[in-house]
Amino acid sequence: MFKDFKLIAGRPVYIQVKDYMRHLIIKSALQGGQKLPSTRELSSLLKVSRNSVISAYEGLEDDGFAYTVQGQGSYVSPGAAARSSEETTPWTINWTERLSGQALLAEELDIMKRGIRAEKGTISFTSIAPDERLFELDQVRRAFMERMAVEGNVLLNYGYAKGYKPLIDYLKQYMEHKGVDLHGKDLLITNGFTEGFDLVLSALGKRHGAVLCENPTHHTAIKNLKLHGFGIHGITMERDGIHLGELEQALMEREYDCAYLVPSYHNPTGIVMSPEKRHSLMKLMQHYGVPVIEDGFNEELRYSGAHVAPLIAAGGSGNSVVYLGSFSKVLFPGLRVGWVLADQELIYYLESVKRARTIHTSTLDQSVLYQYLLGGNLEKYLKKARLEYKRKYELTLACCKEHIPYAALSGDGGLHLFVTFAEGFNTRELLAACHAQGVIFTAGELFFTDGAGQNTLRLGFSRVADEDIVKGIAIIGKTARTLMGE
């Protein structure tokens, strides 16, 4: 005994001694009523200071694992040892047999568990996360310190389901500056877009059980729609956004609960819906009475052209658009802060759903983000990030044009480009062949609602070094040509 004690760096020694002794008690290596080694003895056995052992024994006593007899020493509490040494037959349950259909489906749709892993040295175009090297840690640190100094104690206590009030007010103004009429609307803070979408889908009654969306679309959205039991009808994408003729046809054929749309820097195509199309789209949706869930996740990553107002702005004082915002691409996905801006009555109910599910989004995260935004850091960061991403976007675009034998190429901004090859070409085969040469990307099929898209792929460039963009795309292009028999 006591030979396997190993100190780790960064944790107080007395706590490590206490944890070690407690472990021995729980495992019945030390029995109830047994005398513990004297502090002098244990300090020499474990090669730690006597003070550390004294503090460890005090801790064991505080936690009810040991007691002291005046003038005699410390003993293992009988209760602690007896509880742990009880002879019990291990009781095992087969949890997979008891899983819900929802859990099984979630696992089945979990691409993180199925995708190709990027080994060290692989050039990976699979991510569309921001490049963390652009994050300005000093500003985040300062925002944290400033907010903690102002109201640290309050921030660490429970907060409100609706969100941190200063951030709510900030975001309302932020949305007003995008041209949104806030009349009759309210805002709820969420754990990113994904929770916002989940909350809205939870709150929506399944009157028709079906949702419209662009085809292809964001894989997480498809997954959540399926998990909520909605049927999905995807509408073809054109170079300027969703195909309105096809959309109208679908609207004429049956009724839908809502439409999920990503009008700006759509994932995966990177397409920005034209202002004219946005206008016609809203008229169409109004005509058929189908509300819109607008995903505005990437709006700020515009590199050229004029600002295009979100659909919710086009809706004026109407309440038919539910806008889901996120700072995951624009700033820090790790903070998990997003928001829902929608009709105030709907937000009233979403607030209760949110409270029942997660109580609230971390107030610490919200308040640090608020302080960061208040200090004008987003504007400064965006200036820098846009420049860098635009440079990478143009490099990726140029490399695609030079090397890839595509049939169509799209991406008006954001952090990715979408490549379509001629019908019959298979990007899974291309992926396997490129993987063997140390290059991976996302085969486009998983973004499609109807099993199509075998001839497409998405290239995320935000976290790929310039030289790897050049090298990786050359390999993809050359391999594609070989597969095409050129």
Ligand X SMILES: Cc1ncc(COP(=O)(O)O)c(C=O)c1O
Which residue number, 262 or 457, has a Cβ lying nearer to ligand X?
262
Cα-Cα-Cα-Cα torsion 432, 434, 438, 442, nearest 10 degrees, comes to -70
What is the nearest approach in angstroms of ligand X to the Cβ of residue 442?
11
Q: Which of 193, 339, 447, 461 binds ligand X (CB under 6 A)?
A: 193
What is the nearest approach in angstroms of ligand X to the Cβ of residue 128?
5
**Residue 328 near ligand X by CB under 6 A:** yes
Q: Which of 43, 126, 224, 326 binds ligand X (CB under 6 A)?
A: 326
What is the nearest approach in angstroms of ligand X to the Cβ of residue 262?
5
**For ligand X, how many residues bind (rule: CB under 6 A)?**
13
**Residue 366 near ligand X by CB under 6 A:** no
What x-and-dash track marks residues 297-316 binding ligand X by CB under 6 A?
x-------------------
Residue nearest to ligand X (CB): 192
What is the nearest approach in angstroms of ligand X to the Cβ of residue 130?
10
Distance CA 378, CA 214 (A): 30
Which residue number, 14 or 327, has a Cβ lying nearer to ligand X?
327
**Cis amide leading into 130 (omega within 30):** no
**Residue 223 near ligand X by CB under 6 A:** no
**Residue 389 near ligand X by CB under 6 A:** no
**Residue 115 near ligand X by CB under 6 A:** no
Distance CA 259, CA 242 (A): 11
What x-and-dash track marks residues 225-264 binding ligand X by CB under 6 A?
-------------------------------------x--
**Residue 295 near ligand X by CB under 6 A:** yes
473 contacts 457 by C-beta, under 8 angstroms:
no
Contacts of 57 (CB under 8 A, 6+ apart): 18, 21, 36, 39, 66, 68, 74
Distance CA 453, CA 463 (A): 25
**Residue 192 near ligand X by CB under 6 A:** yes
Judged by DSSP in three states, 269 sits in coil
Hey, which residues between 128 and 187 contact ligand X (CB under 6 A)? 128
If residue 408 lies in a helix (H) or strand (E), which one and from where to where?
A: strand 408-410
**Residue 270 near ligand X by CB under 6 A:** no
What is the nearest approach in angstroms of ligand X to the Cβ of residue 47?
48
Sequential DSSP letters for 48-98: --HHHHHHHHHHHHHTTSEEEETTTEEEE-HHHHHHHH---------GGGG
- Whole-number Cα distances in Å, 474 to 61, 98, 400: 66, 49, 8
Taking the alpha carbons at both ends of the chain, their separation in whole angstroms is 70
330 contacts 414 by C-beta, under 8 angstroms:
no
Distance CA 190, CA 474 (A): 41
What is the nearest approach in angstroms of ligand X to the Cβ of residue 342?
16
Interface with ligand X (CB under 6 A):
128, 192-194, 218, 262, 267, 295, 297, 326, 328, 333, 338
